[in-house]
Amino acid sequence: MKGVILHGGHGTRLRPLTHTGPKQLLPIANKPMSQYCVETLVRAGIVDIMFVIGGIGANRVKDYYGNGEKFGAKFGYVEQVFPKGIAHAISLCEDFVKDEKFVVFLGDNIIQREITEYISSFQRSNAQASLLLCEVDNPSQFGIAEIENGKIKKITEKPKTPPTNLAVTGIYFLTPHIFEIIDKLKPSWRNELEIADALQMLIEEKKEINYEIITDFWKDTGTPNDIIEANRFILEDMTESFKGTKEDEVIIDGKVIVGEETIIKHGAKIIGPVIIGKRCVIENGTTIGENTSIGDDCHIKCDTVSSSIIMPNCTVDSKLNIKNSIIAPNTKIIQKSDSADKIFILGEGTQIYL
């Protein structure tokens, strides 16, 4: 069985974070979100994987993942020059898939569950597709499945009046028959070939489509708040470790992961779950609050940072209370005035002097 990871799109809802690179490389707990997809596939024994790339900074995907050797896999790449939809992106992998069943991951989806059992079940079945469904609070933002008598009756993309709250997650188990279906599709009002339309066509052709309703954590990380929430869930599930150095009177409470050559200075406080990368300096008097990720080579001096993601090579020298923020690499925040609460969504290379 082969794997496909969709790694394109423009990430407009995440700008300015995506002005210089694809959203799927944005880190969650100091790891690109698409790497969670890769590792899930590899753990399930799927090691022949094709990335569909496109949009700004597409070459960064190749630079990061390479040929797959460091992940114990074999990677290939195909470019979707224009964003023509998920179904179109899948169609670009026909030569790669050939006559095998395959699984598609949207690269910005995070799931805290192994998929081995679903793969085995799909391999044994005669189904043309198998879907993972999840109950959501905002069903109008997703493809939604209607179930009747234990079967999927209809799939509608982002309905204004959702008939159910069962979202189709960004994980699809498919057979090569899907390529014949995609060839028949007409562009939607968004001028895209919709995967929901392809699945609905399978239903109308009376093809067997299986489904499972998952109750584990699943997140489509389409907005900054989604990313911060996913960061919290991943941090809570990590194993604590401390490979850095801490000076006297440092307070560490809860689950904390600290990388090599990082220094936690006198009087600092770390309240987990928190991950801090390599070669960082957390200055005296600084509190790193729960649900925070700090990337490699950061220098942080401020009152507090909480429920935030600070990417590599950032400097914060301020009296600020930073919360619910995402700060892209190579950013500087310098502030010498009175303390204040701030929320930042900052693109790569931003410099702020207050």
User: Does 336 have pLDDT greater than 80?
Assistant: no
**Given the DSSP bridges, would you call strands 2-7 and 102-106 parallel, antiparallel or unpaired?**
parallel
Chain segment 284-328, per-residue pLDDT in tens? 999 999 999 999 999 999 999 999 999 999 999 988 899 999 999
Q: CA 278, 284, 289 angle in degrees (round to 5)?
A: 70
* pLDDT at res. 337: 65
Of residues 194, 186, 25, 36, the one with CA closest to residue 111 = 36
Highest averaged pLDDT of the listed ranges 11-15, 105-109, 114-118, 243-247: 243-247
pLDDT band of residue 335 (cuts 50, 70, 90) is confident
Per DSSP, which regions of 138-178 are E strands?
Answer: 143-148, 151-157, 166-174
Q: CA 61, 101, 154 angle in degrees (round to 5)?
A: 95
pLDDT band of residue 10 (cuts 50, 70, 90) is low
* pLDDT at res. 176: 95
What is the secondary structure of 215-261 as a DSSP string? -S-EEE--SHHHHHHHHHHHHHHSPPEE-SEE-TT-EEESSEEE-TT
User: Does 158 have pLDDT greater than 90?
Assistant: no
Is the bond preceding residue 83 a cis peptide, omega within 30 degrees?
Answer: no
User: How far is the C-alpha of 45 from the C-alpha of 10, rounded, in Å?
Assistant: 30
* pLDDT at res. 210: 92
User: How far is the C-alpha of 304 from the C-alpha of 324, rounded, in Å?
Assistant: 12
* pLDDT at res. 246: 94
User: How far is the C-alpha of 236 from the C-alpha of 243, rounded, in Å?
Assistant: 19
What is the secondary structure of 98-133 as a DSSP string? TTS-EEEEETTEEE-S--HHHHHHHHHS--SEEEEE
User: How far is the C-alpha of 302 from the C-alpha of 315, rounded, in Å?
Assistant: 10
What is the Rg, in whole angstroms, of the alpha carbon atoms belonging to the chain? 22
Higher local confidence (pLDDT), 216 or 212? 212
pTM of structure: 0.88
| DSSP for residue 71 | G
Over residues 31-46, mean pLDDT: 94
> The dihedral of CA 29, 33, 37, 39: what is its sign?
negative
* pLDDT at res. 290: 95
* pLDDT at res. 17: 76
Name 101's Cβ contacts closer than 8 Å, sequence gap at least 6: 1, 122, 123, 173, 174, 175, 176
Q: CA 265, 270, 275 angle in degrees (round to 5)?
A: 105
Domains of the chain (ranges plus CATH)? 2-234 (3.90.550.10), 240-353 (2.160.10.10)
Of residues 322, 226, 241, the one with CA closest to residue 26 = 226
Over residues 119-142, mean pLDDT: 90
The most distant pair of C-alpha atoms in the chain lies apart, rounded to whole Å, by 69
User: How far is the C-alpha of 25 from the C-alpha of 60, rounded, in Å?
Assistant: 8
Chain segment 168-204, per-residue pLDDT in tens? 888 999 999 999 999 999 988 888 888 989 999 999 9
Place of tokens 């993942």: 65
